[in-house]
Amino acid sequence: MRRSTRSLAFLALLALIVAVWLPRLRGPIDLRWDGGVYYVLGTALAQGQGYRLLNEPGEIEAVQYPPLLPAIVALHQLVLGTSDPLVVGHWLRLTFFLMFAVHALSSYVLLRRFLPSGYAFAGVAVCVLHLFTMFLSDLLSAELPFALASVLFVLWSAGPRARSHPVAAAVCATCAYLLRTAGIALLIAWVGDSLVRREFKLAALRCAIAMLPIVGWQAYVAEVQAGASYAAPAYSYQRADYLFYNVSYGTNLALRDPYRPELGKASPADLGWRVLGNLIRLPRSLGEAVSASRGRWQALLARVPGLRAVAWERSGLALATAAVAFLGLVVLVGLALHLARPERLIALYVLLYAGTVCLTPWPLQLKRYWSPLAPFLVLFLLQCLLSVRSRAWPGGPVLIRAIARMLPATVVCVVLMVQTFIVLDAYRTSSGEVVLHDRRGSPVRFRLFFYTRPDRELDEALEWLRPRVRPADVVAAAMPHWTYLLTGAKTVMPPFEADPQEAGALLDGVPVEYIVLDGTDVDIAHLMRRSTVEMLRAAPARWTAIYKSSSGEVAVYERSAEPTESAATGRATADR
């Protein structure tokens, strides 16, 4: 490939990246959901308090997420000299913009090793224009840095220049695991690639390097779990198996259903059904990772004249499912073709990663799990389509040969058109304006993806609550870390108990002074509305509604009486 052509490709990619980022460069990065967890942990590191959840009563040690992303947050806070999330969050947004750009350019270099330049560019464009990828790059989550570490690792481990960058590859592999424990798939693939090549000394060396981050992190987790503070938490359900932010992945995954702890531990048969269910969903989830979510496909197809049938709700869903499943099956065929190549590292990595994904009990999170591997999945997609084109036999039917020749370009064009329409529509309908106030009381205006009326009303309620909470007060909320960042009050997640009396006793045992109910589209918010509303109805004299949003979807309740017998019951309830 001529240098001028590559330079033009880089410039075009940079222009595309700037175009999709320009409307969202203002304001802080999104700190809702898991973003708040990473930020709170980073603040603890920056303040020299260790790896702790500052929002929790007792400021307990964290064991869920590895520490690299919180360390990046801590570095930003130390350099800027402040922990104000609206100030530091803006610089984190700029850092993620740089990561996004480097990831896209690195992905192009990687795809160019295997594909013609035009298809390599189109493949990266598919990754850049994916709405969920944009959303994750807007959120303080480990997915984008993990994706960058994965691509750089493959660049420095596969191909003719692999041996010239062994140190860089080892650093990227270590970083991947310290960003997400799913990075263990990358470490195992790294060792396995050497074994497949029968380079046993190199495999032993790689195995020793891979064990360092794994043993280090797992030893830390084991030490925390064996500590006195873990056995005697600040409140009875603080280390309950279902409270995923406060326990390890292994502890949480051992439940049959983390959102329904009353079902107990998962049996081997339960794990088998879980894996089977995720395998059945695999083609669809892979297809969504290289195009768009099934729901977005369905919404877009509904706008196409002539496609709306009488029973569109059913037929539209079937058509959207068929589209993403077809793409996913093509990806799987491309994976099989890649396994037949001398360079198997990427295929080994994706297979092992799929194994870790299939163990998870959260089907709705599959698109998030697959997003970091999008460049590799797009590579498999295009390799399969190009293989079909090249293998169309000369003596075959003219129509078949014509379809085979046109198939790669047609599929890529359709995917890019779908993504472009979806992104434009998302900027118009799914990007909401946020107005928050910094520590000086000055308003900060910016936009976030999927920031709807319930999100805005929740933030308004939390800012209303901020001057009213006292230092000793504890709040219960579906997004405890975000609530802590906006109010400064210790905040816990509500118990996932189906019995309202038991849930009330557990809240009394904290004790919780305020309950925040919201209408956001978050799993925990749904659970909280289901269980906590019943608890409030069962004890109307104990809680008083002191705030309600205009829509009624967000409410703040204050404890109106000191707990008596229920407090003792809550403290005595065994940690499950």
Model's pTM, two decimal places? Answer: 0.92
Mean of pLDDT values over 506-533: 85
Predicted pLDDT of residue 572: 34
> Are 157 and 348 a contacting pair, CB within 8 Å?
no
Q: Which helix (H) or strand (E) holds 431?
A: strand 431-437
pLDDT value at 397 more than 80:
no
Mean of pLDDT values over 140-165: 84
Predicted pLDDT of residue 85: 96
User: DSSP readout, 332-399?
Assistant: HHHHHHHHTSS--HHHHHHHHHHHHHHT-S-GGGHHHHHGGGHHHHHHHHHHHHHHHHHT--TTS-HH
Half-sphere exposure of 166 (CA within 13 A, CB side): 9
Spatial separation of the C-alpha atoms in residues 407 and 361, rounded to whole Å? 36
Helix (H, G, I), strand (E, B) or coil at 539: coil
Predicted pLDDT of residue 536: 86
Predicted pLDDT of residue 392: 66
Higher-confidence position of 529 and 39: 39
Predicted pLDDT of residue 158: 66
